[in-house]
């Protein structure tokens, strides 16, 4: 599995291929009824059963690639270093360590090194997004109440 630092944006050709593939796969997914549909690899005529969840994930990957977004798949149970976790959250490593020590994100310590589960980092990130949205709505409501918001 690729490391997080090796993530690359898709090339223009990959974007084009992903766009065409995403459209076709999205259409097919709407028609599927089986939880383990079988696909055929045209070049080898090989038939492969794939769980529907894996096909949906593939669809999400193709959609992101078609938009030129880099992709990384990391098992949720994977542990990352504090530096990687800080990069994912878009903060400094010392700030992340402070969050860990305050108990805002669970972690384990291996010797002197802290390890954070990817799932916990993503949960914290989502909570922060929700909190930001809540504060923005509150600010907009205050602006409206004060007549500062032009509609």
Q: DSSP state, 5?
A: G
Residue 46: which residues within 8 A CB-CB, separation 6 or more?
Answer: 40
Q: Is the pTM of this model over 0.85?
A: no
Per the model's pLDDT, the better-predicted residue between 1 and 41 turns out to be: 41
At residue 1, the pLDDT reads 41
The residue whose two tokens read 């459209």 is 23
The phi, psi pair for 49, rounded to 5°, reads: -85, 130
Q: Which tens digit of pLDDT belongs to each residue from 67-80? A: 998 887 777 678 99
Q: Tell me whether residue 91 is in a domain.
A: yes
Q: Which of 7-16, 93-102, 142-151 has the lowest mean pLDDT?
A: 142-151
Q: What average pLDDT does range 78-106 have in this prediction?
A: 94
What is the total count of domains within the chain? 2
- Considering the domain architecture, whether residues 106 and 141 belong to the same structural domain is answered as yes
- Considering the domain architecture, whether residues 9 and 54 belong to the same structural domain is answered as yes
- Considering the domain architecture, whether residues 93 and 53 belong to the same structural domain is answered as no
- Considering the domain architecture, whether residues 25 and 55 belong to the same structural domain is answered as yes
Side by side, the strands of the sheet bearing 108-110 are 79-81, 113-117, 108-110
Is pLDDT of 9 > 80?
yes
Residue 37, classed as helix, strand or coil, is: coil
Give me the CATH number covering residue 136.
1.10.1660
Distance, in Å, from the CA atom of 12 to the CA atom of 8, rounded to the nearest integer, reads 12
At residue 46, the pLDDT reads 93
Q: Tell me whether residue 138 is in a domain.
A: yes
- Considering the domain architecture, whether residues 61 and 96 belong to the same structural domain is answered as no
Q: Tell me whether residue 151 is in a domain.
A: no
At residue 33, the pLDDT reads 85
- Considering the domain architecture, whether residues 98 and 56 belong to the same structural domain is answered as no
Is pLDDT of 151 > 90?
no
Strand residues in the chain grouped as ranges (E): 38-41, 46-49, 79-81, 108-110, 113-117
At residue 3, the pLDDT reads 46
At residue 104, the pLDDT reads 96
Q: Which tens digit of pLDDT belongs to each residue from 15-29? A: 999 999 999 999 999
- Considering the domain architecture, whether residues 57 and 92 belong to the same structural domain is answered as no
Mean of the per-residue pLDDT values of the chain:
88
- Considering the domain architecture, whether residues 139 and 117 belong to the same structural domain is answered as yes
- Considering the domain architecture, whether residues 90 and 134 belong to the same structural domain is answered as yes
What is the residue range of 24's domain? Answer: 4-66
Distance, in Å, from the CA atom of 121 to the CA atom of 127, rounded to the nearest integer, reads 10
């Amino acid at each position: 599995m690729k490391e997080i630092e090796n993530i690359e944006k898709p090339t223009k050709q990959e974007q084009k291929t992903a766009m065409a593939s995403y459209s076709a796969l999205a259409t097919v997914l709407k028609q599927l009824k089986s939880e383990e549909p079988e696909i055929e690899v045209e070049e080898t005529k090989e038939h492969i059963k794939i769980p529907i969840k894996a096909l949906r994930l593939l669809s999400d990957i193709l959609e992101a690639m078609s938009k030129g977004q880099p992709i990384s798949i990391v098992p949720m149970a994977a542990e990352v270093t504090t530096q990687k976790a800080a990069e994912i959250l878009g903060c400094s490593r010392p700030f992340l360590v402070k969050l860990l020590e305050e108990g805002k994100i669970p972690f384990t310590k291996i010797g002197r090194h802290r390890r954070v589960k990817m799932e916990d980092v993503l949960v914290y990130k989502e909570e922060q997004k929700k909190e930001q949205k809540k504060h923005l709505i509150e600010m907009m409501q205050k602006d409206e109440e004060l007549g500062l918001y032009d509609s």
